[in-house]
Structure 1
Amino acid sequence: MHDTNTLRGIDLNLLVILDALLAERHVSRTASRLNMSQPAVSHALGRLRHLFDDPLLIRRDGQLVLSARALEIAPALSEALRQVREVLGPGGFDPAKEKRTFRLAMSDYGSAVVLPGLLKMLRLEAPGVDVVITQSNREAMLRQVLDGDCDLAIGVFPDRPERIDSEQLFVERFACLADRKSLGGRDRLDIGAYLARPHVLVAMKDQSSTEIDTALRAIGHARRIAVTLPHWGNAPRLIQGTDLVLTVARKALALHEHDPAVAVFEPPFPIPPFPFVQVWHERRSGDPAHLWLRNMVAGVSMAV
């Protein structure tokens, strides 16, 4: 533990750099986040290693991982800096002047629902902030958050590991889409007609454990999946002129609610609604820019 004289000799800016390094686990991303050069961040990392007498970040399998000492100090450091920023007031962070790239992981459903409003707000309030969007399955997105490869993941994450914080954005429910002519004058399908038809499954990988199929199994039924594809954006276009049925999150069908060629209706069996959330690593919770981004995402999501 450092005594008072040792603390007087510490450049507190180094602790800000350390906090960013432990969050990003990447020298160039830390440099971009702090608007510094990569050599300057590398030099600071060298000083920090000497100061703590610990490697802090260790290269393993081509990536930087936190040492045991770094894992120990990361939460306390983040919280301490958060409290310092509160004491100093909001003047330390100005969205209009921020120059930073955020990496967000989300499905194309998330991109369609959240991204349009978010980008409008970013261009208005923070024109120097850039975003990079990646898409993976749920497990891969959570791994990216844990590994520091993305700042924020937006989607459905019923099982979240330790060290992952979350915030509910809204509660979503399911709806069905079918060709209107194929319904023969009806505006929906009963359970028998639903099960008799072939179905479209939207999934990043072949999976029979979707919320829809779990709900069907609960009442002793199963559906036939005729088409599996990874992007819901193309799925509604496959329905018109066929006997296929698509069952997806209702907000994904907002553009088709008033399309005369197709019908949007409630599933003929109960499917529990699900929370749509944003998740991030707990070490980023004290970052004022990250908090601002999360508040932006939450605000935009309330309007969808």
Structure 2
Amino acid sequence: MKKLSNISISTIEIFCQLYLKGSTKVVANDLCLSQPKVSRAISALREVFDDPLFIRKNNQLIATELAHHLHISLSEILTCSRSIEEDAIRKVSSAEPPIVIGTVPQLEIGLAQEIVNDAINHQLNRNIAISTTAWSELSEQQLIDGEIEAAICFKPSTRKELLSKSIIQHRGGYLVARSHHPIWDDPSIDNMINYPIVKLATMPFPANKSPIGVYAASQGKPMQVYATAPDLGSAASSLVNSEAVMIVGVKAAVDFLASISGIKAKKVDYSQDRAILKGFSYPTVYLWLKRAPDGKVISPMWLQKTLEAYIIKSHK
């Protein structure tokens, strides 16, 4: 004899339908099954309970005494199964679509958690899905196509479908290098250009130029690029394992790098910073948001404010 646990929910459903309708043909039609499949399901139950369950009389299948008792329990199992299935469907259908933000690496640290916290503060779904993706030249189209919800970057957008908001300017850079780097004996720009530089893949300057690299070239000492890092983690690894230096303008990114064992950061002296930025404008952070055809921004106001606040906080 087989165990009841070997019997599927679909077999139990066939039993309950047959109990009510008394015809394998009607049950097969109602459940979109073949008659042989209905018959096999009942045969499986007969083997489990060692009972015919249904006896044919006048072209009608009549339930046995055991089948009468079983129907009460099996119909409860079927009801529970349907309830669980409906709950699962409701949860899936009510799940909010993920929010994806395109961002430069300097402004990625803690961004997803900041959005989650603010969503909770606005009594939204606690399980809201947030993720970030690297900003690139494709981000404008991704935002227009709805692949991302917003973008944080260092250049304005000219696309009419997007709102491009200037949020804040960097005001001073930080020198970052390994803790025991000789640069700390003399952290002047004329000494910095004696060492290779680590660049991030997205720089806040036209054509991704490095101001210190331009300064070095003007002094007849072109700087070597040790690495172009896609993110802050990769940049930190390069700094720890080399004589390279790095200049970063976003305070949150600086704090992240300085928190890593073996790395030190220090604000560049004002006069030195101005010399580095000679010929460059102060870098500006922009927030891109998608517009509706009528010109209104599509993103919810709470998310706009969260992103703006996050950008400003990251510079303090």
TM surpasses 0.5 = yes
Indicate conservation of the 8 Å contact 1:168/1:275, yes or no. Answer: yes
Question: Per-residue CA shift, 1:122-158, capped at 9, x if unaligned?
Answer: 2332432734434234311122113332221122224
The CA RMSD over aligned residues, in Å, is 3.6
Change (3 A) 1:105 1:238: same
Aligned pairs for 1:220-299 within 5 A = 220=218, 222-240=222-240, 242-251=242-251, 252-257=253-258, 262-266=264-268, 268=272, 269-271=275-277, 272-283=281-292, 286=296, 290-299=300-309
**Aligned pair in 2 of structure 1 residues 247, 116: CA closer, same or farther (>3 Å)?**
same
Judge conservation of contact 2:290–2:298 (CA < 8 Å) in 1.
no
Residues 214/263 of structure 1: CA separation in 2 closer, same or farther (3 Å cut): closer
Preserved contact between residue 114 and residue 301 of structure 1 (Cα < 8 Å): no
List per-residue Cα deviations over 1:76-118 (Å, max 9, x = no partner).
xxxxxxxxxxxxxxxxxxxxx9945433212333221533322
Query: Does the 8 Å contact 1:174/1:273 carry over to 2?
Result: no
Partner Cα separation in structure 2 for residue 235 and residue 111 of structure 1: 14
Q: SS of the residue aligned with 1:303?
A: helix
Give distance in 2, aligned partners of 1:270 and 1:142: 30
- What is the aligned partner in structure 2 of residue 115 from structure 1? 112
Partner of 1:35 in structure 2?
none
Shift of 1:244: 0.9
Inter-partner Cα distance in structure 2 for 1:158 and 1:274: 11
Greater Rg, structure 1 or structure 2? 2
Taking the TM superposition and a 5 Å limit, the aligned residue runs for 1:159-178 are 159-172=157-170, 173-178=172-177
Match of residue 103 from structure 1: 100
The CA deviation at 1:294 is: 0.5
In 1, Cα distance between equivalents of 2:121 and 2:137: 33
Q: Which amino acid aligns with 2:103?
A: M
Question: C-alpha distance in 1, partners of 2:258/2:308?
Answer: 25
Could you list the runs of 4 or more consecutive aligned residues of structure 1 that deviate by over 6 angstroms after TM superposition?
none
Query: Is residue 168–residue 284 contact of structure 2 (8 Å, CA) maintained in 1?
Result: yes
Partner of residue 182, structure 2: 183
Asked whether the 8 Å contact 2:178–2:264 carries over to 1, the reply is yes
- TM-score normalised by length of structure 1: 0.56
Alpha-carbon shift at residue 208 of structure 1 (Å): 9.4
The 1:218–1:208 alpha-carbon spacing in structure 2 relative to 1, beyond 3 Å, is: farther
Question: Identity across aligned pairs (percent)?
Answer: 13
Distance 1:199 1:210, change over 3 A: same
Q: TM-score, normalised by structure 2?
A: 0.54
Q: Which runs of 5+ in 1 are unaligned?
A: 1-96
CA distance in 1, matches of 2:213, 2:183: 27
Asked if 1:202 corresponds to 2:204, the answer is no
Report the AA paired with residue 156 of structure 1.
Answer: F
**In structure 2, C-alpha distance between the alignment counterparts of 1:98 and 1:124, rounded to whole Å:** 18
**Structure 2 unmatched ranges of 5 or more:** 1-93
8 A contact 1:109–1:233 mirrored in 2: no
Cα 1:161–1:270 change in 2 (3 A) is: farther
If asked which structure has higher relative contact order (CA below 8 Å, sep 6+), I would say 1
The 1:255/1:148 distance shift into structure 2, 3 A limit, reads closer
